Chains A and B, each alone.
Chain A
Amino acid sequence: MVEEPNLTETILKVEDAHTFIGHHHILQGLSFEARADAVTVLIGRNGAGKSTTLKTVMGLLPASQGKILYNGHEIQKKRPYEIARMGIGFVPEDMGIFASLTVEENMRVAMLREDKLTAGWLEQTLEMFPDLGKFWHSLAGNLSGGQKQMLAIARAIVNESSLLLIDEPSKGLAPIVVDALIEAINQIKKHSVVVLVEQNFYMASCVGDHFYILDDGIVVHSGNMQDLVDDDELKSRYLGISKAGN
Chain B
Amino acid sequence: MSKTETRRWNQELTIIAGAVILLMLPLLGIPFKTYLTLTIAGLAMGMLLFLISSGVSIIFGLMDVLNFAHGALFAWGAYVGFSVFGWLREWVEADSVLQNFGVFLVAILAAMAAVAVLGIILERVIVRRVYGNHLFQILITFGATIVLVELIRVFWGPNDEVMTVPLTFRGNWDIFDIIIARYRVICIFIGIVVYAVIQLILKKTKLGTIVRAGVENREMVQAMGHNIFLLFTGVFAVGAALAALGGLSMSIFSLQVYPDMGSTYLLFAFIVVIIGGLGSVTGSLVGALIVGLSYNYVAYLVPWAAAGVNILIMIIILLIRPTGLFAAGK
Contact = CB atoms under 8 A, between A and B. Distances in A.
A84 interface: yes
Interface in B214-231: 216-217, 219-229
A40 B222 CA distance: 24
A80 B216 contact: no
Contacts of A96: 217, 219-220, 223
A80 B210 contact: no
Most chain B beta carbons < 10 A, residue from A79, A100, A108, A114: A100
B216 A58 contact: no
Contact of A98 (B216, B223, B225): B216
Contacts of B225: 81, 84-85, 112, 159
B224 A155 contact: yes
Contact of A84 (B206, B216, B223): B223
Contacts of B184: none
B289 interface: no
B222 A98 contact: no
Contacts, number: 65
A95 B318 CA distance: 30
Contacts of B222: 60, 79-81, 84
Nearest to B227: A81
Interface string B105-143: 000000000000000000000000000000000000000
Interface in A71-118: 79-81, 84-85, 90, 92, 96, 98-101, 105-106, 108-110, 112, 114
A80 B221 CA distance: 9
Nearest to B219: A60
A155 B329 CA distance: 20
Given A60-B223, A80-B222, A84-B222, A142 B212 contact: no
Contact of A81 (B209, B228, B329): B228
A31 B225 CA distance: 25
A223 interface: no
Contacts of B329: 99-100, 141
A98 B220 CA distance: 9
Chain B: number of interface residues, binned into ranges: 20 to 34
A101 B216 contact: yes
A235 B257 CA distance: 74
Nearest to A100: B329
A84 B226 CA distance: 8
Chain A: number of interface residues, binned into ranges: 20 to 34
Contact of B213 (A60, A79, A98, A112): A98
Contact of B223 (A90, A108, A142): A90
Nearest to B224: A110
B328 interface: yes
Nearest to B328: A100
Contacts of B159: none
A175 B212 CA distance: 34
A109 B224 contact: yes
Nearest to A86: B225
A114 B207 CA distance: 13
A187 B220 CA distance: 24
Nearest to B203: A105
A92 B4 contact: no
B208 to A, nearest CB: 10
A41 to B, nearest CB: 21
A235 B186 CA distance: 73
Contacts of A142: 4
A118 B212 CA distance: 22
Contacts of A159: 225
Nearest to B229: A79
Contacts of A105: 209, 212-213
Given A100-B328, A142-B4, A81 B226 contact: yes
A62 to B, nearest CB: 12
A110 B329 CA distance: 19
Nearest to B215: A100
Most chain A beta carbons < 10 A, residue from B213, B220, B223: B223
Contacts of A60: 219, 222-223
A99 B209 CA distance: 12
A109 B223 contact: no
24 contacts: A79-B227, A79-B229, A80-B223, A81-B223, A84-B222, A84-B223, A85-B225, A90-B223, A92-B223, A96-B220, A96-B223, A98-B213, A99-B216, A100-B328, A101-B212, A101-B213, A105-B213, A106-B213, A109-B206, A109-B213, A109-B224, A112-B224, A141-B329, A159-B225
Interface of A: 58, 60, 79-81, 84-85, 90, 92, 96, 98-101, 105-106, 108-110, 112, 114, 141-142, 155, 159
Closest 7 pairs between A and B when the two form their complex, measured CB to CB: A96-B220, A84-B225, A80-B222, A98-B213, A90-B223, A85-B225, A109-B213
Given A80-B223, A81-B225, 19 more contacts: A58-B223, A60-B223, A79-B229, A80-B222, A81-B223, A81-B226, A92-B223, A98-B217, A99-B216, A99-B329, A101-B209, A101-B212, A105-B212, A109-B226, A110-B224, A114-B206, A141-B329, A155-B224, A159-B225
